[in-house]
Amino acid sequence: MGLFDKLVGWLRLKKEVNVLCLGLDNSGKTTIINKLKPSNAQVQDIVPTIGFNIEKFKTSSLSFTVFDMSGQGRYRNLWEHYFKEGQAIIFVIDSADKLRMVVAKEELDNLLNHPDIKHRRIPILFFANKMDVRDALSSVKVSQLLCLENIKDKPWHICATDAIKGEGLQEGVDWLQDQIKTMRT
């Protein structure tokens, strides 16, 4: 990123942030992004994402551009191509899928060890989604299974969410906004 780009970035009135939304397939990434959009822009039917979608939503002081990536196994190798652009990461976990928790951990470890991510102090927001499902794991249990306590060099936060009702999303986005503001100043 050249000096000119940085100048343009600072001069923007409403700061723009690029966010990567990652997670395994069927964890609820598109549903979460959809819920964060203004109610008149929300879509009704959510289908499995092919490749990735670019979505935008705004909070009180920031304008987010989200790369909503597909989580299917065959598209997961696309993720790393967007790591450079990401200034924050939203990682969505299906807390009802105990079997694939190891797969989520593996993808997270790959992500954290990637050279584009490893030495940057970017905030990571975890959504332990599908809290409404009967035998879902708690956010504490999810963070234990993913060994989140081992992330020392990046600010992170985990929220239990129900993306269909929208519960828990606002808390997470507020945290993300605070983190990005503190990083800028």
Instruction: Name the segment binding another protein (CB under 8 A); options: 3-11, 73-81, 84-92, 157-165.
Output: 73-81
Helices 29-36, 169-184: inter-axial angle, 10-degree rounding: 80
Residue 37 or 100: the one with the smaller Cβ distance to another protein is 100
Give least dist CB 20 to another protein, A. Answer: 17
| 135 belongs to the binding site for another protein (CB under 8 A) | yes
CB 102, min distance to another protein, A: 4
The two counts, helices (H) then strands (E), for the chain are 6, 6
Using CB under 8 A, which of 25, 80, 132, 167 touches another protein?
25
Q: Which is nearer to another protein, 54 or 99 (CB)?
A: 99
How far apart (Å, rounded) are the C-alpha atoms in residues 84 and 182? 20
Site string for another protein, 155-184 (x = CB under 8 A): ------------------------------
Q: Is 170 a catalytic residue?
A: no
**Residues 58, 51, 22, 71: what is their CA dihedral angle, to the nearest 10 degrees?**
140
d(CA 25, CA 69): 9
Of the pair 26, 63, the CB lying nearest another protein is at: 26
Which residues touch 43 (CB under 8 Å, ≥6 apart)?
Answer: 34
Rounded CA separation 17/8 (Å): 13
Residues 89-128 that bind another protein (CB under 8 A): 97-103, 106-107, 110
Q: Write the DSSP assignment of 2-42 as a string of letters.
A: -HHHHHHHHH-SSEEEEEEEEE-TTS-HHHHHHHHS-GGG-
Report, in Å, the least distance between residue 112 CB and another protein.
14
β partners of residue 167: 162
73 is a contact residue toward another protein (CB under 8 A): yes
Catalytically active residues are 72
Residues lying near another protein in the complex (CB under 8 A) are found at: 24-26, 73-74, 76-77, 97-103, 106-107, 110, 135
